[in-house]
Amino acid sequence: MSVFPAIAISLSLLSAPLWAADYDSFTEPNQEIALASPELDVLASLKVQEGDKVKKGQVVAALDNSVLEAALAVAKARKNAGGQLKAAKSIAKLRKEKVDRLVPLLARGSAQQYEVSEARIELEAANAEIQAAQDVITENSLEYNRLQAQIDRRRLRSPIDGVVTHIMRDPAELVGGNQAEIMMIASLNPLQVTVHVPTAEVLQLKEGQGVTVQFPELGFPSQNGKITFISPVTEASSDTVPVKVQFSNADYAIRSGVKCVVSTDTTN
């Protein structure tokens, strides 16, 4: 009697998954963000349209910056104005030369002590004028940087790589406050699927486990996914546990919102 069939059966059992089941669900963005205005003002422009792909940090909209840009031009002129500092340095140079002339004369008895003292006081005053001029330049530079930061903050940037799915406001509309949301941006790579697994079955699963995502009604190729989250809480009304699965969608070939089947049997 041959033992090979028995060995073959044993190997087949060893290669089979410990738990195999299929769960119906829908694909969804792994992240969806409502981009909102940071303050109440007029929406000056939209840089994107619905359906556009965007990169993290890309400017997608801007508030009206006309007043701030005018103030920035003034601050820039003040920041670069060094006339007061130059004049103060010239006066300080002259007063130092005066002190340098009087000190040797005082030693030879050709000058009075009060003359040297007055010259030194004048030099200290001139140095104080230099410091005051430098402080003004520093303050103007800080004001310039503050205005630049405020203008940049009003250029709204996408916080993620994704797709613009919905635009809620038009240019020239007042945005902010209760109407702060301007657009929705969804991250579609990776795509996510949430399945609700019975509690008895979820005990067989673990985070990081590989699964297969199939699209039997659409003909999309099967995707290799991974369990990224298993809720620690069972939903009492259904005795199921939310489990999140993600899979790569770098070319955006798989749409969000389509039916799919998540299979824990990865041998198919």
In this structure, which amino acid lies at residue 203?
L
Mean pLDDT within 100-128: 89
Identify whether residues 100 and 39 lie together within a single domain: no
Tell me the residue range of the domain where 103 lies: 66-153
In this predicted structure, the answer to whether residue 7 has a pLDDT above a threshold of 70 is no
CATH of the domain at 251: 2.40.30.170
Q: What is the pLDDT of residue 49?
A: 96
Mean pLDDT, residues 135-159 taken together? 92
Residue 228 has pLDDT above 90, yes or no: yes
Tell whether 28 and 44 lie within a shared domain. yes
Contacts of 116 (CB under 8 A, 6+ apart): 99, 102, 103, 106
Q: In terms of domains, do 170 and 255 share one? A: yes
What are the angstrom distances between the C-alpha of 202 and each of 214, 216, 229, 242, 246? 20, 24, 11, 9, 17
Mark which of 125, 153, 181 sits at the end of a domain: 153
Interatomic CA distance for residues 46 and 158, integer angstroms: 12
**Per the domain annotation, does 37 fall within a domain?**
yes
Task: Say whether both 104 and 233 belong to one domain.
Answer: no
Q: What are the pLDDT digits (tens) for 49-69?
A: 999 999 999 999 999 999 998
Looking at residues 1-27, what average pLDDT do you find? 58
What residues does 181 pair with on adjacent strands? 36
Using the CB atoms, write b or e for 206-236: b if 16+ within 10 Å.
Answer: eeebebbbbbeeeebebbebebbebeeeeee
Same domain, 224 and 147: no
Are both 75 and 112 inside the same structural domain? yes
Q: What 3-state DSSP class applies to 128?
A: helix
Mean pLDDT for the chain? Answer: 89
- How far is it, in rounded angstroms, from Cα 95 to Cα 100? 9
- The tokens 């000056």 sit on which residue? 44
Q: Which residue among 113, 133, 153 closes a domain?
A: 153
Which residue type occupies 48? V
Residue 5: exposure state from Cβ atoms within 10 A (0-12, 13-18, ≥19): exposed
Three-state DSSP at 40 gives coil
Assess whether 48 and 105 both reside in one domain: no
In a domain, 14, yes or no: no
Q: Is residue 8 part of a domain?
A: no
Q: Which helix (H) or strand (E) holds 265?
A: none
Query: What does the pLDDT read at residue 78?
Result: 85
Task: Give me the number of domains the chain comprises.
Answer: 2
In tens, the pLDDT along 157-196 reads 999 999 999 999 999 999 998 889 999 999 999 999 999 9
Q: What's the distance, Cα to Cα, between the start and end of the chain in Å?
A: 33
Q: What is the pLDDT of residue 83?
A: 86
216 and 104 in one domain? no
Give yes or no for residue 4 having a pLDDT over 60: no
Does the pTM surpass 0.85? The reply is: no
Q: Which residues pair with 183 in a beta bridge?
A: 35, 167
pLDDT value for 77: 87
Same domain, 72 and 60: no
The Cα 41–Cα 66 span in angstroms is 12
pLDDT band per the 50, 70, 90 thresholds, residue 5: very low
